[in-house]
Amino acid sequence: MKLRSSVAVLALVAAPATMQAAEFKLSDYKPVTEDRMKNPEAENWLLTKGNYAGWSYTPLDQITTENVSRLRPVWSAATGVNSGHEAPAVVNGDYMFVATPHNQVLAFDAKTGRSLWRFVREVPEGMGALHRTNRGVALWGDKVYVGSIDCMLTALDAKTGTKVWEAEVCDWETKSAYITSAPLAVKGKIIIGPSGGEFGVRGYIKAFDAETGKEAWTTYSVPAPGEPGSETWPQDGKWKDAWKNGGGTMWMPGNYDAKNDVIYWGVGNGAPWIADQRPGDNLYIASSLAINPDDGKIVSHFQYHHNDGWDWAAMNAPTLVEFNKDGNTVEGLISAQRNGVLYWLERDATGNISFDQAEKYVYNNVFTSIDPKTGRPTYNQDAIPGTGKSATYCPTLWGGKDWPYEAYSPKSGMLYIPYNENHCSTLTGIIQPIIPGVWSAGVDINALNIELRDGWDHIGGIQAWSVDGRKEEWRVKYPGSWNWGSILTTGGGVLFAGGTNDRMFRAYDEKSGKLLWEFPTPSGIISPPSAFSVDGKQYIAVVSGWGVDAAWVQGKMNELAGWEKQVPEGGSVWVFALD
């Protein structure tokens, strides 16, 4: 299937800055420094997940479980585009930045919602992408950085939206790569990688100098022949060149251990999806990598499952935490993976990753066991799709948790997982050639399906796990919806989350999961909430705008369970505060 732009770029054209910040007498833009990124102020939201550790947590505590019922909308603004809005509002002082689908960045006065500027990069004619979305901006110095669907990384003047430089990250015309990820800013470098595993893209990330845009390094997730890990790919025979199109795209931003100077980055699924077309463990697909930010060298890795054959990407970087082990506090990583398993991993000062424990958090019929020493799973051979072989596996390719962020609260010591349960899929492998712009995942795209488990009572929900206690403390079930929403934890003990097809934005008690407040937005929420304060007043921000995978699955659920077929689309930014 040839993918082409179906929206005629929505009539979006390069737009000049609409207004100058100075007209509104905003405070001076405070440059984002290395020290500020390592110790972000509570009043700002400088990164997509709030801090380098990936917690999605704000220390702000003005909004509490006792008063959250008084939360009211303060301002709202339309983004002017459809498709799935998956980027958080990023805030530095008076300035709020929101990336949207169709290569757009909007800047607002964070307190009032007044538009400051809008940047739009025109989508090239003929440009096609499976996921037309954007997952956020990065800040460094006096600039805003954004990746575009057509493979460019652009630096913008934070005050005016004027383009400062742009650099090519990937090739959409001949390689079918495209960018949906937010960049990560570390030590004066802007790091980002493309999507495109379903087109046979070999994954990588690139680092660019924040001031000049000059490329600093490139790190591939699939080693070339002779490189460490290449022995896990076919060495000869029919599939000896599988590494060239082996997938492992790195399409979500990483996390950073600033104390030990180590980046942790997630690696996507294998390509094609069918495992017998690339026999071997296939490092480093479905792994977390520890990377030196200075030169991009891979320091260590942990592979969650070998020879991935289910499109179970490990694209989310693990969350940096400390946890108790045998009475001692150790530095670790925790991650709810798409394969439906929650992992505790240890990390040391050099970035070495070692396995500690794994627990299934949703039903998985593929892993018959997990080695308690290494974390390596043993597979149910009947649940592995092959070339010409059909197999049913659970969870589906959307996993126990897709890309939305888990969240950690240092106050409660719990990890909160936006999960999806009770869904399975049957795939049959075929051989597909690699042709630019043409689906080549090794399965017929028109044959993708969802099956619901017998006796299913819900799909989506939120689980709360004690990181030290290593057990589930509570869960909230959504009987009529999947969960496509990231979670925000707060110093006031309140969780905020969207993600459901009823368009609601909700607040929960972090200790019990009790619903405390909800508000209907015009569309469904699949973007991460964020928090900030101005003049001593705490605000909660979220972007509403349903689309991409959430919309496709909703259509399938209409066929399977009679759910509402479509959720209204159209993006809008919402900011709330106590009345």
Which residues are annotated as catalytic?
311
CB 52 within 8 A of CB 37: yes
Compute the distance between CA of residue 221 and CA of residue 217 in angstroms, rounded to an integer: 13
Compute the distance between CA of residue 432 and CA of residue 451 in angstroms, rounded to an integer: 25
269 is in an annotated binding site: yes
Tokens of 360: 């299934």
Amino acid identity of residue 404, one-letter, is: P
Which helix (H) or strand (E) segment holds residue 38: the answer is: helix 34-38
Place of tokens 């495992």: 275
249 is in an annotated binding site: yes
Compute the distance between CA of residue 265 and CA of residue 320 in angstroms, rounded to an integer: 12
559 class by beta-carbon count within 10 Å (0-12 exposed, 13-18 middle, 19+ buried): exposed
311 is in an annotated binding site: yes
135 is in an annotated binding site: yes
Amino acid identity of residue 562, one-letter, is: G
Place of tokens 């390592």: 38
506 is in an annotated binding site: no
> Could you give the 3-state DSSP secondary structure of residue 290?
strand
86 is in an annotated binding site: yes
- DSSP designation for 579: -
Strand partners, 367: 379
Compute the distance between CA of residue 409 and CA of residue 389 in angstroms, rounded to an integer: 44
Per DSSP, the residues of 377-429 read EEE-GGG--BBTBEEEESS-TT-SS-SSPPEEETTTTEEEEEEE-SEEEEEEB
134 is in an annotated binding site: no
Query: For the chain, percent helix, then strand, then coil, each to nearest 5?
Result: 10, 40, 55
Radius of gyration of the chain (CA): 22
List of residues 6+ apart from 323 with CB closer than 8 A: 329, 330, 332, 334, 344, 467, 468
- Binding residue numbers: 86, 135, 180, 198, 249, 269, 311
- Binding residue numbers for Ca(2+): 198, 269, 311
- Binding residue numbers for pyrroloquinoline quinone: 86, 135, 180, 249
